[in-house]
Amino acid sequence: MTAPVVETKGLVKSFGDVTACAGIDLTVARGEIVALLGPSGSGKSTLLRHLNGLTRPDAGQVRVLGADVATVKGAELRALRRRVGVVFQQFNLVGRLTVMENVLHGALGRVRGPRYGIVTWPRSVRAEAFEHLDRVGLADRAYQRAGSLSGGQQQRVAIARALLQRPELMLADEPVASLDPETAASVMDLLVRVCREDGLTMVCTLHQIELALEWTRRVVGLRLGEIRLDEPTELLDAVRLRGLYLSDPVTV
Which residue in the set 4, 26, 33, 43 belongs to the binding site for ligand ADP (CB under 6 A)?
A: 43
Total residues belonging to the chain: 252
Q: Does 175 bind ligand ADP (CB under 6 A)?
A: no
| CA–CA gap between residue 82 and residue 75 (Å, rounded) | 11
Nearest distance in Å: CB 161, ligand ADP: 22
| CA–CA gap between residue 153 and residue 45 (Å, rounded) | 23
Q: Does 17 bind ligand ADP (CB under 6 A)?
A: no
Query: Which of the residues 151 through 170 are near Mg ion (CB under 5 A)?
Result: none
Q: Which segment (15-23, 64-72, 116-124, 154-162) binds ligand ADP by CB under 6 A? A: 15-23
Q: Is the dihedral of CA 78, 83, 89, 92 positive or negative?
A: positive
Nearest distance in Å: CB 245, ligand ADP: 12
**What is Dmax (Cα atoms) for the chain?**
58
The answer to whether the beta carbons of residues 101 and 117 sit under 8 Å apart is yes
Nearest distance in Å: CB 231, ligand ADP: 19
Three-class DSSP category at 82: helix
Q: Which is nearer to ligand ADP, 155 or 205 (CB)?
A: 205
Angle at 158 between CA 153 and CA 159, to 5 degrees: 95
* Pairing label, strands 84-87, 201-206: unpaired
Nearest distance in Å: CB 16, ligand ADP: 7
Q: Which is nearer to ligand ADP, 105 or 228 (CB)?
A: 228
Q: Which is nearer to Mg ion, 32 or 173 (CB)?
A: 173
Q: Which segment (44-52, 132-140, 175-183, 213-221) binds ligand ADP by CB under 6 A? A: 44-52
**Gyration radius of the chain over CA positions:** 18
Helix axes 181-197 and 151-164, enclosed angle (nearest 10):
10
Nearest distance in Å: CB 44, Mg ion: 5
Q: Does 52 bind ligand ADP (CB under 6 A)?
A: no
Query: Which of the residues 43 through 72 are near Mg ion (CB under 5 A)?
Result: 44-45
Site size toward ligand ADP (CB under 6 A) is: 11
Q: Does 201 bind Mg ion (CB under 5 A)?
A: no
Q: Does 15 bind ligand ADP (CB under 6 A)?
A: yes
Look up residue 98 and give its DSSP letter: B
* Pairing label, strands 59-64, 6-15: antiparallel
Q: Does 40 bind ligand ADP (CB under 6 A)?
A: yes
| CA–CA gap between residue 248 and residue 240 (Å, rounded) | 12
Q: Does 45 bind ligand ADP (CB under 6 A)?
A: yes
Interacting residue ranges for ligand ADP, rule: CB under 6 A: 15, 18, 20, 38, 40-46
